[in-house]
């Protein structure tokens, strides 16, 4: 029996593999490859896809899984930290875009309702594309990543009131006040449900599930929680994406969030491919080729308009120019939820056939160029900083404690106050090392200064900020931020301003190390590699490799610039397992019981090696381990002895350590 959807899936995957392989060779982003696949296979291309609606459903699942994964990596605490950007930044971006588009649309002859509705469509950006790209670039925790995420979340919420307003704009009657009141009540209920579920219900439920050690049960439970919250929010009139994000937030409060994320990621990547393909299927090539110049011009105008407005909003939030530009460029495209809203406009007569197709074509083009825009954004931002602009524009106007000559010498400068920055600052404080922190989150600066931290608001990509932090008199600078482009720029500035300073850089991936070393970094610590070091260290410890050999091995790996770990060809310096090569020898731990014959005697008196053929390696007493004890050491009740020897010899000496009346031998 023929299954049309299965045929379409095979076509999509097969064509995607070919396109993506070619695009990988020519270094074009994968998202563009998926869009091209949709253009070729869609109804306006070769017409290979017949079940278009079914593919769109799979695409919606992809968006759901993307937002769910982002929610898993987030937390309610982090949400509260960016609430200002969500409420103020999101509302300003949406309202300003609507207002500007309304004025322009009215000048072109559109009616009042149509002009406002066009503002609705243009105000929304692509949550799926932008967040996926930011995640791939490891910038979700950077200031511009956080601000971008906050505004996108607000857009996902505001689409619901927009859909309620659409019939009113078309002239249909309805009780708008009652609808909004019901919406607020539903939203409040959802928030309370999320808070209760995150604190009490989900952690306890997942604890009971993980006790079964059933991978299938855990996976099904995670998807059930996700889809249940999505179904609930959808039934209340809210967006699927918002429900998925809230579901991820609920699970993120538990200790099982990382395990859940690992299970979700493969499904997310597969279904996200359907989303990008479905977007490409919307592009009508015949319509595009009829008037390509006008369509490209309008697309560029959309991109520029949205980028300028979002950049201005980010600046109003207090971010410096570089961050504001990155936010503006990231939000410059038209989003996928605009397509959903546009269908509602067509139903109510706010979009005619020609205008609708024009909007679809322009929107798909803006989404197609988004990967290139985000890739070029750091260069554009750095170029803007070279212009002779006012200092307040470059550094941001937010009224917080900015760097103003800290007047320290031989001090430590910490860039970024995330997890790594906090740990470095804590160690410096305990050790009595003077330090200064530079952070770009204005709310964090205010909160931490109230706690007594020497933290200042400033964009370290500016030389002036570093000069105020007395970088010329500093001994070490630690760069612990999540923006690769900014990290490289800060490294170069640090080396240029102080040729003797020791620069330690935290980065995510191995491939980022070489450029940082070339820019002057002394130590580059990639999280990806240090995790592997910790893993193989513990493996070697379990195989009883001597500690000095392990330390030597780690030193060799690090001295080779981390390249050895990729192509390790040296022979092992020690045996991979003691039991494998010395099967007649065991290492065991024995407890000395209260009435044991050895209690109170010295090791010389007992003569473990001389009389019994076993060797004592260490004695643990009162949580303290003493290795290589001398012959005058007395044994006490409760001691733990680490001994090595043939199994039969150890068994023969057991009576020395047990109570005489006990027949049961106890060893650990």
pLDDT in the model for residue 555: 66
Of residues 178 and 625, more confidently modeled:
625
Give the H or E element holding residue 290. Answer: helix 285-290
Which residue, among 25, 36, 19, 638, has the nearest Cα to 369 in the 3D structure?
A: 36
CATH code: domain 398-507 is 3.40.50.720
What's the pLDDT tens digit per position in 132-152?
888 888 788 788 888 999 999
Check residue 275 and give its pLDDT.
86
| Class for the domain spanning 584-656 | alpha beta
Asked if residues 596 and 656 have their Cβ atoms less than 8 Å apart, the reply is: yes
Candidates 389, 374, 128; CA nearest to 268 is: 128
CA distance 314 to 137: 20
The share of the chain scoring above pLDDT 90, in percent, equals 20
- 38 CB-near residues (< 8 Å, 6+ apart): 276, 277, 278, 279, 280, 281, 282, 283
Per-residue HEC secondary structure of 262-276 comes to HHHHHHHHHHHHHHH
- Please give the model's pTM, rounded to 2 decimal places: 0.69
State how far the Cα of 440 lies from the Cα of 417, in Å rounded to an integer. Answer: 9
What fold characterizes domain 4-385? Na+/H+ antiporter like fold (1.20.1530)
Q: Per-residue pLDDT tens for 263-319?
A: 888 888 888 888 889 888 888 888 888 989 999 999 999 999 999 999 999 988 888
For residues 418 and 422, what is the distance between their CA atoms, to the nearest angstrom? 6
Domain ranges of the chain: 4-385, 398-507, 584-656
Q: Where are the beta strands (DSSP E) in 337-480?
A: 412-415, 435-439, 455-457, 476-479
Q: What is the rounded distance in angstroms from the CA atom of residue 607 to the CA atom of residue 591? A: 17
| Residues 226 and 246: beta-carbon distance below 8 Å | no
Q: Which residues pair with 590 in a beta bridge?
A: 641, 667
CA distance 16 to 9: 10
Q: 88: which residues sit within 8 A by CB, 6+ positions away?
A: 317
Which residues contact residue 92 at a Cβ distance below 8 angstroms, ignoring those fewer than 6 apart? 313, 316
Q: What is the largest CA-CA distance in the chain?
A: 106
H or E segment and range at residue 615: strand 615-621
Q: What DSSP assignment string belongs to 628-646?
A: S--TTPBP-TT-EEEEEE-
Show the 3-state SS of 370-393. Answer: HHHHHHHHHHHHHHHHCCCCCHHH
Percent of the chain with pLDDT over 70: 89
Q: What are the two backbone dihedrals, phi and then psi, of residue 617, each rounded to the nearest 5 degrees?
A: -90, -40
Q: Are 12 and 270 in contact (CB under 8 A)?
A: no
What mean pLDDT is predicted for residues 109-129? 90
φ, ψ of residue 618 to 5 degrees: the values are -160, 160
Encode 203-236 in three state secondary structure. HHHHHHHHCCCCHHHHHHHHHHHHHHHHHHHHHC
Among residues 152, 118, 108, which one has the least CA distance to residue 133?
152
* Phi-psi label, residue 640: left if phi above 0, alpha if psi -120 to 50, beta otherwise: beta
pLDDT tens, 523-570? 888 876 777 777 777 777 777 776 667 776 776 666 555 554 444 334
Mean residue pLDDT across the chain: 83
CA distance 130 to 663: 70
């Amino acid at each position: 029996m023929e299954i049309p959807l299965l045929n379409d899936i095979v076509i999509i995957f097969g064509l995607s593999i070919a396109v993506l392989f070619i695009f990988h060779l020519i270094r074009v982003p994968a998202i563009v490859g998926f869009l091209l696949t949709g253009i070729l296979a869609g109804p306006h291309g070769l017409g290979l896809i017949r079940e278009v609606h079914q593919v769109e459903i799979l695409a919606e699942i992809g968006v759901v899984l993307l937002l769910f994964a982002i929610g898993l990596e987030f937390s309610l605490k982090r949400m509260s930290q960016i609430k200002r950007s969500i409420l103020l930044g999101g509302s300003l971006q949406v309202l300003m875009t609507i207002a500007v588009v309304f004025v322009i649309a009215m000048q072109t002859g559109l009616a009042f309702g149509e002009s406002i509705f066009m503002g609705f469509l243009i105000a929304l950006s692509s949550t799926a594309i932008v967040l996926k790209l930011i995640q791939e670039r490891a910038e979700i925790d950077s200031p511009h990543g956080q601000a971008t995420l906050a505004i996108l979340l607000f857009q996902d919420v505001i689409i619901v009131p927009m859909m309620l307003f659409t019939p009113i704009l078309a002239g249909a009657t309805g009780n708008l006040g009652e609808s909004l009141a019901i919406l607020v009540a539903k939203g409040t209920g959802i928030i309370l449900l999320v808070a209760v579920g995150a604190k009490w219900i989900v952690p306890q439920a997942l604890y009971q599930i993980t006790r079964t050690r059933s991978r299938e049960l855990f996976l099904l439970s995670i998807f059930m929680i996700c889809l249940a919250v999505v179904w609930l929010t959808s039934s209340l009139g809210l967006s699927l994406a918002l429900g998925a994000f809230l579901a991820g937030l609920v699970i993120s409060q538990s200790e099982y969030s990382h395990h859940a994320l690992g299970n979700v990621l493969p499904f997310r990547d597969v279904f996200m491919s359907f989303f990008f393909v479905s977007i490409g299927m919307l592009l009508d090539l015949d319509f595009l080729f009829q008037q390509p110049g006008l369509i490209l011009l309008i697309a560029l105008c959309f991109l520029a308009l949205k980028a300028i407005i979002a950049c201005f909003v980010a600046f109003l939030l207090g971010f410096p120019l570089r961050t504001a530009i990155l936010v503006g460029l990231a939000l410059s495209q038209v989003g996928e939820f605009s397509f959903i809203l546009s269908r509602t406009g067509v139903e109510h007569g706010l979009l005619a056939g020609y205008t609708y197709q024009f909007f679809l074509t322009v929107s798909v083009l803006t989404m197609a160029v988004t990967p290139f825009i985000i890739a070029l954004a750091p260069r554009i931002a750095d170029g803007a900083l070279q212009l002779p602009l006012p200092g307040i524009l470059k550094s941001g106007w937010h009224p917080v404690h900015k760097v103003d000559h800290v007047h320290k010498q031989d001090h430590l400068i910490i860039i970024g106050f995330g997890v790594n920055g906090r740990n470095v600052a804590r160690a410096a404080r305990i050790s009595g090392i003077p330090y200064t922190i530079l952070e770009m989150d204005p709310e964090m600066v205010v909160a931490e200064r109230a706690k007594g931290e020497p933290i200042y608001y400033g964009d370290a990509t500016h030389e002036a900020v570093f000069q105020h932090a007395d970088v010329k008199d500093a001994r070490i600078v630690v760069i612990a931020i999540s923006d690769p482009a900014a990290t490289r720029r800060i490294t170069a500035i640090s080396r240029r301003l102080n040729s003797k300073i020791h620069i330690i850089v935290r980065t995510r991936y191995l491939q980022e190390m070489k450029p940082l070393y070339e820019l002057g970094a002394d130590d580059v610590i990639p999280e990806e590699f240090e995790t592997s070091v910790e893993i193989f260290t513990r493996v070697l410890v379990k195989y009883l490799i001597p500690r000095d050999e392990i330390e030597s091995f780690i030193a060799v790996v690090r001295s080779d610039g981390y390249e050895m770990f990729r192509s390790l060809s040296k022979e092992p310096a020690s045996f991979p397992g003691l039991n494998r090569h010395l099967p007649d020898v065991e290492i065991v731990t024995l407890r000395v019981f209260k009435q044991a014959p050895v209690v109170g005697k010295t090791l010389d008196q007992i003569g473990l090696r001389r009389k019994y053929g076993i060797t004592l390696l260490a004695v643990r007493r009162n949580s303290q381990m003493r290795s290589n004890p001398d012959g005058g050491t007395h044994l006490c009740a409760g001691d733990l002895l680490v001994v090595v020897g043939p199994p039969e010899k150890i068994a023969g000496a057991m009576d020395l350590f047990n109570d005489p009346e006990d027949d049961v031998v106890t060893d650990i």
